[in-house]
């Protein structure tokens, strides 16, 4: 059984890289040659929190719009996992990276990741999501304490909503980890399927995965019941390497914040952002509750 003090890699998936062709700044974007960009391009890493084949075209749209606004070639990489993303940024192989909220806590110290922007709704408000634990509608499980002796599917080790928060909630409810049969399904979609296929008594299903599954006709909410829901979690930050020139970091931040809503709409769909709006600025303080959570669980950089 895994302990709270272990935060390891997420899904082991092949690296999929997409290089977008270079182009100059658009009419409303800054004019810059490739030489004005670090290494002649901006490398943007994304953790595979969903099927990479689905993520790639959505992030291609975002990266293409950023390339036009920034005036630098943008190279998109769907990385292997969280650890690979942190290592790449720390080694100067990524200028930009999107991390999960809890992952950012460690990326900020281990790789010098600085948050720039996150996803907003049509009113311009930063969007959030929630972790949740679900059971079949006819289950005798009514609360977290009822999970003693039962099986629970979690997403992946180190996931904010799919691991840390549900396990912390069990502890707060007085349920020892050893009293629950925890199974790591390998991702949010897999955890949901473990429940719908009758493989487990309960499963974590965060609000983002819930929305995606319902839209795809893969989850009939009337047949299941939510027995626990977390407080709102701020959506993923897009970060930049702290080692870059401050003037360039400001250019990137300005370009991200000037992206049209339709440039981020496809990515926002995976994050339950509806209706989508332009990206909004975030800071380390935005994610302070996640820093506090990591401290409460005793997690450190060494646990990554």
The CATH code of the domain that includes 35 is 3.40.190.10
170 shares a domain with 52: no
141 shares a domain with 168: yes
Does the residue 5 lie in any domain? no
275 shares a domain with 156: no
27 shares a domain with 83: yes
> Quick one: what percent of the chain has pLDDT higher than 90?
72
Cα–Cα distance for residue pair 133/86, rounded to 1 Å: 29
165 shares a domain with 246: no
- Bridge-based pairing of strands 233-234 and 128-129 is antiparallel
Does the residue 1 lie in any domain? no
254 shares a domain with 118: yes
Q: Rounded to the nearest 5°, which phi and psi values hold at 101?
A: -55, -50
Per-residue confidence band for 101, with pLDDT thresholds at 50, 70 and 90: very high
Residue 6: predicted pLDDT: 31
115 shares a domain with 247: yes
Tens of pLDDT, residues 225-259: 999 999 999 999 999 999 999 999 999 999 999 99
Does the residue 8 lie in any domain? no
Q: Is the confidence at residue 1, as pLDDT, over 70?
A: no
112 shares a domain with 95: yes
Q: Which of 192, 211, 230 is the last residue of a domain?
A: 230
Pick from 33-37, 137-141, 209-213 the range whose average pLDDT is largest: 137-141
Q: Which of 202, 230, 258 is the last residue of a domain?
A: 230
Integer Rg of the chain from CA: 19
Q: Going by C-beta distance under 8 Å and a sequence separation of 6 or more, which residues neighbour residue 273?
A: 119, 120, 121, 127, 235, 264
Residue 16: predicted pLDDT: 30
Does the residue 3 lie in any domain? no
Asked if 182 and 164 count as a contact pair (C-beta separation under 8 A), the reply is: no
> Quick one: what percent of the chain has pLDDT higher than 70?
87
Tens of pLDDT, residues 117-135: 999 999 999 999 999 999 9
Residue 50: predicted pLDDT: 82
Number of domains making up the chain: 2
Per-residue confidence band for 299, with pLDDT thresholds at 50, 70 and 90: confident
Asked if 101 and 233 count as a contact pair (C-beta separation under 8 A), the reply is: yes
**What is residue 256's three-state secondary structure?**
helix
219 shares a domain with 277: no
Q: Which of 230, 246, 266 is the last residue of a domain?
A: 230
pTM: 0.78
242 shares a domain with 223: no
Read off the pLDDT of each residue in 172-189 and give the average, rounded to a whole number: 94
Domain that holds residue 221: 131-230
* 2-16, 29-43, 69-83, 169-183: least confident range: 2-16
220 shares a domain with 167: yes
| Residue 236 DSSP class | P
118 shares a domain with 163: no
- Please give the mean pLDDT across all residues of the chain: 87
Does the residue 79 lie in any domain? yes
Does the residue 36 lie in any domain? yes
Does the residue 9 lie in any domain? no
Read off the pLDDT of each residue in 13-35 and give the average, rounded to a whole number: 38
Read off the pLDDT of each residue in 157-179 and give the average, rounded to a whole number: 91
């Amino acid at each position: 059984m895994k302990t709270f003090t272990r935060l390891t890699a997420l899904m082991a998936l092949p690296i999929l890289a997409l290089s977008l062709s270079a182009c100059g700044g658009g009419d409303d974007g800054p004019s810059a040659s490739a030489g004005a960009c670090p290494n002649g391009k901006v490398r943007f890493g994304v953790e595979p929190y969903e099927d990479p084949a689905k993520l790639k075209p959505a992030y291609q749209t975002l990266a293409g719009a950023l390339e036009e606004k920034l005036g630098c070639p943008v190279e998109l990489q769907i990385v292997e996992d969280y650890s690979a993303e942190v290592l790449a940024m720390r080694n100067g192989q990524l200028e930009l990276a999107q991390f999960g909220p809890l992952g950012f806590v460690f990326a900020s110290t281990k790789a010098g990741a600085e948050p720039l922007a996150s996803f907003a709704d049509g009113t311009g408000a930063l969007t959030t999501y929630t972790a949740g634990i679900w059971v079949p509608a006819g289950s005798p499980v009514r609360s977290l304490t009822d999970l003693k002796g039962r099986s629970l599917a979690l997403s992946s080790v180190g996931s904010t909503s799919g691991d840390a928060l549900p396990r912390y909630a069990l502890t707060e409810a007085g349920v020892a980890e050893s009293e629950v049969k925890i199974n790591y399904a390998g991702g949010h979609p897999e955890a949901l399927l473990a429940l719908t296929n009758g493989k487990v008594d309960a499963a974590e299903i965060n609000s983002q995965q819930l929305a995606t599954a319902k839209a795809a006709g893969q989850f009939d909410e009337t047949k299941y019941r939510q027995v626990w829901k977390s407080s709102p979690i701020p959506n993923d930050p897009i970060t930049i390497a702290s080692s870059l020139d401050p003037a360039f970091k400001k250019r990137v931040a300005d370009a991200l914040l000037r992206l049209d809503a339709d440039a981020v709409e496809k990515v926002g769909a995976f994050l339950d952002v509806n209706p989508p709006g332009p990206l909004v600025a975030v800071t380390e303080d935005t994610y302070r509750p996640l820093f506090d959570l990591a401290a409460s669980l005793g997690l450190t950089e060494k646990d990554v």
